[in-house]
Amino acid sequence: MNLFQHFRERILGVVGDLAAEGRLPGGLSTGRITVEPPREAAHGDVTTNAAMVLAKPAGMKPRHLAGLLAERLGGLESVAGADIAGPGFINMRLEDAFWHARLAEILRAGPAYGDSAMGGGEAVNVEFVSANPTGPLHIGHGRGAVIGDALAALLGKAGYRVTREYYVNDAGAQVDKLAFAARWRYLQALGDRVPDEVREDIGGDGSIEYPGQYLVSVGKALAGEYGTRFCTAAADEWLPPVRAFAVGAMMDLIKGDLEALGIRFDVFTSERALVAAGKVDDALAFLEDRDLVYTGVLEPPKGKAPDDWEPRPQVLFRATRFGDDVDRPLKKADGSWTYFATDIAYHLDKFRRGFKTMIDIWGADHGGYVKRVQAAVEAVTEGAGTLDVKVCRLVNLLDDGRPVKMSKRAGSFVTLRDVIDAVGKDVVRFIMLTRTNDKPLDFDLVRVTEQSRDNPVFYVQYAHARVCSVMRHAAEIFDAGALRAETLAEARLQRLTDPSELGLIKLMAGWPRLVEGAAETHEPHRVAFYLNDLAAQFHALWNKGNDDASLRFIVPADRELTAARLALVQGVAYVIASGLTVFGVTPLEEMR
């Protein structure tokens, strides 16, 4: 249960009752009423601005209306009192029994606690990674991969029907360069079988763009597949099959890297197939029919114009009608489509597949591209579709504070697989979510594996492992049936009276609200912050038990109290597991 939504509905009920009694005008707009936790716990459990937003339309002073509402709210079931604060906020204190019932609710739900129907099954497309299929993924790709996958999981938990999609950029100059590099490795693999007139190509320019070792195996595979067939062939003969072969091999490599990170996609969409199917032409025709395409001459770029810039007529999209800074070209000088044109077609295709809500996760170098694509989405969906773009800033990879050198395998960067092999999938996934996507992230290979409070992965996992340790010790006193969650939910939870115990329950009871809020704002990092806070409160309660034996989780002389505290401990484990599941991280039962 999202308890804040629950109390909002009860407040709306009170407003309706007062209107029915003639003490408030009927038909008051209640959309701006909020119900949330107070900034300070001393102020109560729930606060609302209802009196402040309704006072003016009701023709009353805020504090007078607050008094009227507080009188009714204070008499509601589970409400211990309602006080007026400041200009008219109402703070409600809830009875301990209400919180004990929330703990029982957590135990009955298990790790599914926090699941929500908020999304109502709405289809959402989350497109992420979408790296050019020209080599293995690097650590920067890993950040976008984790954020996209965690966001998709979060949206799924909040009741949306999510599709994870990878857009394969297999059309354009980069994949042609990949094909030339692959043919160079192919000629190397053939060795003595290469004709003398071609031998001089070995060691040529093909190696410059993609010098990594990952293409060596591709060259050998091409040699095994085609023999010497492409040694002397013209480019128009060997380029298409070699390009397709190399792209396929690179996608297999990328999928393997993603699999190592625990990520699988529902859909892979090929840019080349999109163009071949005429979908770019369809998108352009759609825009032309609405007078959103014209031929014009753009102003030179702001600042110093490039040496090769010249004013020339171009096919342009009227992006400025939709909030962009300038209109955008759809065709290059040679008549081929711009990347932007294919991106328009791609997002229109997603919309036509039933996705009104689209989320793209992009790398740091695409920040300036956001406005134009959002403008295009508004245009081709005629306002019915929305695109939220999350730009992931750079990852600074360090080794005990020192920058990590580039990978031997990749040749120019550190591969994602290198990092996964060094610290493990779960560490990579958790650390990538400890900062907002729009801030740079330092990833230190030494510090992310330290067993200290400063390491959020360890701190949260240690809390879960401690819970498991407590339950193992409890098994020496209680039989297995007594430790089942459904049995613990029936324990005398009213024995939990210490402020630290109640505070922990209150924090756990806020998990459903956090799930819905983070899903609504597309901010999975909020889960990491929440888990860290939950771990901190649990560790603090553990430490209090070390200092005061009466607060220990297991009190052999008082089985009833012990059962209640074991219920609290098990609830912590379930909520941590619920959050880690969103992250795709396995909760640990023991620390290694």
- pLDDT tens digits along 17-49: 999 999 999 999 999 999 999 988 889 999 999
Q: Is the pLDDT of residue 440 over 70?
A: yes
> Which H or E run includes 82?
strand 79-85
pLDDT bin (cut points 50, 70, 90) of residue 135 is very high
pLDDT bin (cut points 50, 70, 90) of residue 206 is very low
| Residue in the structure block whose two tokens are 């109390």 | 7
Q: Is the pLDDT of residue 307 over 80?
A: no
CA distance 445 to 404: 9
Higher pLDDT: 378 or 405? It is: 378
Measured between its terminal Cα atoms, the distance across the chain in Å is: 35
Q: What is the pLDDT of residue 253?
A: 96
Q: Is the pLDDT of residue 335 over 90?
A: no
Tens of pLDDT, residue by residue over 114-133, are 999 999 999 999 999 999 99
What's the residue count for the chain? Answer: 592
The sign of the dihedral angle between the CA atoms of 305, 310, 311, 315 is negative
- Give the list of residues 6+ apart from residue 431 with CB closer than 8 angstroms, or none: 441, 443, 448, 456, 457
Other Cβ atoms closer than 10 A to 134: 23
Q: What is the pLDDT of residue 201?
A: 60
pLDDT bin (cut points 50, 70, 90) of residue 302 is confident
> What does the mean pLDDT of the chain come to?
93
Residues paired with residue 296 on neighbouring β-strands, in sequence order: 314
Task: Find out whether 48 and 42 touch, Cβ atoms under 8 Å.
Answer: no
Largest CA distance in the chain: 99
Residues 548-554: what's their mean pLDDT? Answer: 94
The sign of the dihedral angle between the CA atoms of 291, 297, 299, 301 is positive
Q: Which two tokens stand for residue 314?
A: 């171009």
Q: Which two tokens stand for residue 180?
A: 């030339």
CA distance 444 to 159: 35
Task: Find out whether 318 and 327 touch, Cβ atoms under 8 Å.
Answer: yes
Task: Find out whether 190 and 151 touch, Cβ atoms under 8 Å.
Answer: no
Kindly state the percentage of the chain with pLDDT values over 90: 87
Task: Find out whether 10 and 2 touch, Cβ atoms under 8 Å.
Answer: no
CA distance 216 to 235: 20
Task: Find out whether 406 and 414 touch, Cβ atoms under 8 Å.
Answer: yes
Tens of pLDDT, residue by residue over 213-229, are 899 999 999 999 999 99
CA distance 343 to 349: 10
CA distance 399 to 377: 42
CA distance 269 to 175: 16
Q: Is the pLDDT of residue 204 over 80?
A: no
Tell how strand 386-392 and strand 357-363 pair up.
parallel
Q: Is the pLDDT of residue 405 over 90?
A: no
Tens of pLDDT, residue by residue over 255-293, are 999 999 999 999 999 999 999 999 999 999 999 999 999
Domains and CATH numbers, the chain: 3-94 (3.30.1360.70), 173-260 (no CATH), 451-583 (1.10.730.10)
